[in-house]
Chains A and B, each alone.
Chain A
Amino acid sequence: MCFNELKFLILKGKVNVMNYIGNVLKYGDNIDTDVIIPARYLNISDYKELAKHCMEDIDSSFVSRVKKGDIMVGGQNFGCGSSREHAPITIKESGISCVIAKSFARIFYRNSINIGLPIIECPECVEDANEGDRLEIDLEKGTIFNYSNEKTYKIIPFPKFIQDIINSGGLMEHIKG
């Protein structure tokens, strides 16, 4: 399967949750891993501690606003920059259930797969979504429903190779398998 055919990407994550309902926290294009988690915190190895600084340099109110299950929405090239896996880890640890973007930077994309942070590429959904909108993602049906505009967006699943990694619960479990 060619990457361009894969317009929408879906990832279940380690937990076998098929549905996510949450409110949108929306950001722009080129959200880099330095703003997701600044390098000055990268010597912290406790993920809960790291999560206290998630998005700090771009949105100092993120940590106080985010609620468990919320959905982060970004524009193009989400997660660009450094390869730090701390970025998807921090987002996941902060309570975000899923990230939807127009496109993802490639290292962020593979890191998310490898650690089990659900990510979905869906430009149309991103275009329409506003801060605070309520979204419901149904991975089994392959849909995103936006309660605010009552629109449904279709998602196409990952190729089998990647789905196998996800089903194993991440890359490390997969290679053990």
Chain B
Amino acid sequence: MGMTMTQKILARSSGNKQVTPGMLISAKVDIVLGNDITAPVAIKEFEKAGVNGVFDKDKIALVPDHFTPNKDIKSAEQVKLMREFAKKMEITNFFEIGQMGIEHALLPEIGLVTAGDLVIGADSHTCTYGVLGAFSTGVGSTDMAAAMVTGEVWLKVPEAMKFILTGKPSEWVGGKDIILHIIGLIGVDGALYKSMEFTGDGLEFLTMDDRFTIANMAIEAGAKNGIFEVDNETLQYIQEHSTKPYEVFKADEDAHYVEEIYIDLSKIKPTVAFPSLPDNTKTIDEITDIPIDQVVIGSCTNGRIGDMRIAAKILAGKKVNENVRCIIIPATQKIWKQCMHEGLFDIFIDAGCAVSTPTCGPCLGGHMGILAEGERAVSTTNRNFVGRMGHVKSEVYLASPAIAAASAVTGKISSPESVML
């Protein structure tokens, strides 16, 4: 029987000629990732194992990004633990404040992940790297600890769902609208335990930043991983960012999918996920008069340079509404510098936005923009669960940078067109 992209990578990494859905395998990992929330738990577990060193000091990435720059003493202690562990184990990929970026924006940018890799990360959005034709999935801290010892992870080979993207999206529709549309269609457990495999001739109309956003939110449909077919755009990205050897896997013609879903990109409208699940979606034309208090543009979902440029295009020459705080967080230092050089910060600051150093911050209600009771935010992040960004009675509406920026201007959830007359 033929194999999907995911199954081929799992076969290669587990030393099997063929794997089939449901098989339990032990696979070699190319990168193990942890952050300031999950790595400290993993490090404690690792230390209990009583081994002298990690399996490979170059294949572990430690990124303190959630509560950093440390928001309080407890957070500082967590990062200190990571830093000391990294030193002791001579881990090459520990990213101090100043080099740090949000993990899932950072790792591809510095070329640590490439096509064909098998990546596990103690962070659910590790699925982001599937955009490069890698198998990557979120795991827990104990998995991370075990992988730091053995270099391996246990996995169940997933069934696959194929998403065939066709057509060209309209002007203000990007990766975020597409993935919100898909999650709205299949539900937050629509791809539970499965791999989401993206292909089709619509890919040519999607920038790498669009694709990153789509792969990033595969977990929001419950998927084990999201993976994109590698095309010239991907290869160009890889060549520009990474010197690692890579391997491109293509699905077999007779690969089995439990479902094949056609998505006509040209029909997708700007989409917003209402509280408090990402599948609670509405298209922009269905939304009337929802006043907001805050806008957040950033995160591992939409904090890349393409996202910043869209926000700037909309905010240029305009002012943030007097009832709104607009917080902009470029996801990495490199993106930050690009924004600076391209003059985007002038636009943001002149419009009345606050610009932050890279951090997850408000995305998980950590710091840098927590919501009070009854407040509403439009956010380019990926989760709108109860209390995600602050008070349990606050609300998060997930949207693209275009909708977020337009909403910042009008003070209510708005289409980009409505402010770009």
B24 and A85 contacting across the interface, CB-CB below 8 Å: no
Q: Which of A15-23, A110-118, A130-138, A146-154 contacts B (4 or more CB under 8 A)?
A: A110-118
Binding site secondary structure of chain B: loop
B222 and A176 contacting across the interface, CB-CB below 8 Å: no
Query: Which one, A5, A40, A161, contacts B365 given CB within 8 A?
Result: A40
Give Cα A169 to B72, complex, Å.
35
A80 and B142 contacting across the interface, CB-CB below 8 Å: no
- CB of A170 closer than 8 Å to a CB of B: yes
A115 and B192 contacting across the interface, CB-CB below 8 Å: no
Give Cα A106 to B385, complex, Å.
18
B366 and A40 contacting across the interface, CB-CB below 8 Å: yes
A172 and B45 contacting across the interface, CB-CB below 8 Å: yes
A3 and B156 contacting across the interface, CB-CB below 8 Å: yes
Residues of chain A contacted by B45 (CB below 8 angstroms): 172
Query: Which one, B122, B126, B146, B366, contacts A39 given CB within 8 A?
Result: B366
1/0 per residue, CB under 8 A from B, across A2-37: the answer is 111100000000000000000000000010101100
Give Cα A77 to B124, complex, Å.
15
A3-B387 contact given A43-B72, A172-B142, CB 8 Å threshold? no
Tally A residues with Cβ within 8 Å of B.
Answer: 45
Residues of chain A contacted by B121 (CB below 8 angstroms): 83
- CB of A92 closer than 8 Å to a CB of B: no
A176 and B189 contacting across the interface, CB-CB below 8 Å: no
- CB of B383 closer than 8 Å to a CB of A: yes
A45-B40 contact given A76-B189, A105-B192, A172-B48, CB 8 Å threshold? yes
How far is the CB of B387 from the nearest CB of chain A, in Å? 4
Give Cα A144 to B145, complex, Å.
33
A34-B154 contact given A2-B22, A43-B78, A114-B142, CB 8 Å threshold? no
A43 and B75 contacting across the interface, CB-CB below 8 Å: yes
Give the residue name and chain of the A residue nearest to B72 (CB).
A43
Query: Which one, A1, A4, A80, contacts B188 given CB within 8 A?
Result: A80
A106 and B49 contacting across the interface, CB-CB below 8 Å: no
A107-B140 contact given A40-B366, A77-B189, A162-B24, CB 8 Å threshold? yes
Residues of chain A contacted by B172 (CB below 8 angstroms): none
B37 and A84 contacting across the interface, CB-CB below 8 Å: yes
A111-B154 contact given A43-B75, A57-B387, A77-B222, CB 8 Å threshold? no
A35 and B387 contacting across the interface, CB-CB below 8 Å: yes
- CB of B178 closer than 8 Å to a CB of A: no
How far is the CB of A1 from the nearest CB of chain B, in Å? 6
B22 and A161 contacting across the interface, CB-CB below 8 Å: no
Give Cα A84 to B123, complex, Å.
7
Residues of chain B contacted by A170 (CB below 8 angstroms): 142
A2-B40 contact given A30-B188, A34-B383, A45-B78, CB 8 Å threshold? no
Residues of chain B contacted by A2 (CB below 8 angstroms): 21-22
Residues of chain B contacted by A106 (CB below 8 angstroms): 192-193, 222, 224
How far is the CB of B86 from the nearest CB of chain A, in Å? 18
